Amino acid sequence: MIERSGVVSSIYRSGKVYDLLYPGSAAGLTFWLELAQTYGDPILEIMSGTGFKAIPLAQAGHDVTGVEMAEPMLAEALRKSRAADAHVTWVRGDARAFDLARQFKLILLPSNSICHLLTRHDLEACLASVARHLQPDGRFALNVFVPSLPLLLQTADEELPFGGYADPDSGAQVVMTSRSWYEADTQIKHNQLFRRVGEGPIEPDGELAMRIYFPQELDALLWYNGFAIEHKYGEDRRPFDGQSGMQYFVLKLRDRV
Ligand SMILES: C[S@@+](CC[C@H](N)C(=O)[O-])C[C@H]1O[C@@H](n2cnc3c(N)ncnc32)[C@H](O)[C@@H]1O
């Protein structure tokens, strides 16, 4: 993620470590694979990371391109797709300003990646890039969590578990924690990360800033940036309601409705 300083967040410094922190699950792929079957190719995933979605989509026979900004994530995606003998076109680019000189039937922005678009300007630049790359009858799909009160109420006084993994080189157990706070004016949740390797000292491990998107706000931002909501689901394609923990959108270009 681009922080305000222009530095990629520390959780994206190593694709291998990212995959250990967030190993994903087969269930997390179902929605995206079903969309690909319904809407077809070519498919573009923006902020494609280490290819957790893009590689299985390519293995299912789809024509997939991934745009990703962090070099270490892209390098791991390339290594994994080669090892899996899956062809994905990997492009280093910024979700807010990419130009692939082609259009896609389906554009995906999964895994809360929209939270990396910290300002309205960032989001609108990304949505304009998506609109330029979407075929007139194409679909744009994204998902993002619904902000919960406990998440908004966290304070920097509390050090909370963030994740853990066995270091790929040394095998030592790494425990990550975070101190987090929510800024109500910018709607940014700041996470200061810490890591402890084995019994070593607790050391600062960079930052992760996430823009929080409230349901009605996001509906409006999408609409006023040219997208009509074809479907909005909660988990497991249930209709989005007050109990939903996730927002899943399937969107069309608005002037095509
Ligand atoms: C949460 S990960 C999601 C990875 C992948 N989509 C998945 O489902 O596993 C978000 C990714 O977005 C990338 N990213 C953050 N800001 C970006 C930007 N402005 N342009 C392109 N990639 C970006 C990060 O480097 C990271 O790999």
Distance CA 64, CA 128 (A): 20
> Quick check: 181 pLDDT over 80?
yes
> Quick check: 175 pLDDT over 50?
yes
Bridge partner residues of 89 (DSSP): 65
CA of 89 to the centre of ligand 1 (A): 16
CA of 159 to the centre of ligand 1 (A): 25
Q: How far is CA 193 from CA 174, 178, 213, 239, in A?
A: 13, 4, 22, 35
The residue type at 120:
R
The residue type at 144:
V
Mean pLDDT value of segment 227-253:
98
Q: Give a yes or no: residue 196 inside a domain.
A: yes
- Count of structural domains, the chain: 2
Residues 21, 91, single domain; the answer is yes
* CATH, residue 138: 3.40.50.150
Mean pLDDT value of segment 234-245:
97
Minimum mean pLDDT range among 3-12, 42-51, 91-100, 174-183:
3-12
195 lines ligand 1 (CB under 6 A): no
Bridge partner residues of 249 (DSSP): 142, 232
Point out the ligand 1 atom lying closest to the alpha carbon of residue 122: 19
CA of 107 to the centre of ligand 1 (A): 14
Residue-wise pLDDT tens digits, 63-110: 999 999 999 999 999 999 999 999 999 999 999 999 999 999 999 999
The confidence score (pLDDT) of residue 256 equals: 53
Point out the ligand 1 atom lying closest to the alpha carbon of residue 96: 19
The confidence score (pLDDT) of residue 169 equals: 86
Q: What percent of the chain has pLDDT over 70?
A: 96
The residue type at 73:
M
Residue 177 belongs to what domain range?
Answer: 149-211
The CB density around residue 92, as the number of other CB atoms within 10 Å, is 14
Residues 124, 25, single domain; the answer is yes
The confidence score (pLDDT) of residue 6 equals: 44
Q: Give a yes or no: residue 1 inside a domain.
A: no
Residue with CA nearest ligand 1 atom 16: 1
The confidence score (pLDDT) of residue 10 equals: 79
Q: What is the DSSP letter of 116?
A: G
Mutate which of 47, 50, 111 for ligand 1? The one with the most ligand atoms within 8 Å of its CB, which is 47
Q: How far is CA 50 from CA 41, 73, 173, 248, in A?
A: 21, 5, 22, 21
10 lines ligand 1 (CB under 6 A): no
Distance CA 164, CA 166 (A): 7
Residue-wise pLDDT tens digits, 120-171: 999 999 999 999 999 999 999 999 999 999 999 999 999 999 999 999 888 9
> Quick check: 243 pLDDT over 60?
yes
Residues 130, 245, single domain; the answer is yes
Q: Give a yes or no: residue 4 inside a domain.
A: no
Residue with CA nearest ligand 1 atom 4: 49
CA of 49 to the centre of ligand 1 (A): 5
The CB density around residue 160, as the number of other CB atoms within 10 Å, is 10
The confidence score (pLDDT) of residue 5 equals: 41
Cβ(170)–Cβ(199) below 8 Å: no
52 lines ligand 1 (CB under 6 A): yes
Residues 206, 104, single domain; the answer is no
Residue-wise pLDDT tens digits, 183-199: 999 999 999 999 999 99
Q: What percent of the chain has pLDDT over 90?
A: 92
The confidence score (pLDDT) of residue 8 equals: 58
Q: Give a yes or no: residue 97 inside a domain.
A: yes
Residues 52, 165, single domain; the answer is no
108 lines ligand 1 (CB under 6 A): no
116 lines ligand 1 (CB under 6 A): yes
The confidence score (pLDDT) of residue 24 equals: 87
